[in-house]
Structure 1
């Protein structure tokens, strides 16, 4: 059974991005449709898969990571406007029987991602 998961590592502080808000959207012809909004747990992960089983459909998706709000909440002094605000990450799901893990490594100045396992 396929599923979609995520987690975020705070590379400025060297640990999980506990408390960061993340929104999942489905991208379609009618425009982006919000599916859910979560807050990452103490380990920087969602408490459950974002999508799983019949909920996981082939198509284009977007995760929006609230990087600026997270770092400001940690007391990091950022310029106004911050270099990174909300970080959108668009990706595709082709095989609904697979596990799609979409991690983000983030600081106030940079981010990277990959398809994890």
Structure 2
């Protein structure tokens, strides 16, 4: 093989390696672009899933409100628990009463044994 043929062979080999390297870099760049798109789509999908879950829970809350006679506030619930605990020794029924007014609904409880009546209305809701 002559020097000229060897030089041509080396030039062709160099050119092929250079082309392969360029092709490899293009493929790497394309893969990285696809990965970024995947990550962006994952984030968007997560957002839609959470929005869907929020909507589902809001619908459930509305359904509970629509099918409930009354929904206690946190303060009313605390007072109810305290009243029940205080009257556990009475070993009797506890009655609830709801009284509609022009500005809201008053809530009370009565122990059937001792007759104690307690207003547990959370007036801050009015």
Same fold (TM over 0.5): no
Q: Which has the higher contact order (CA 8 A, sep 6+)?
A: 1
Q: Greater helix share, 1 or 2?
A: 2
> Which has more radius of gyration?
2
What TM-score comes out, normalization by structure 1 length? 0.29
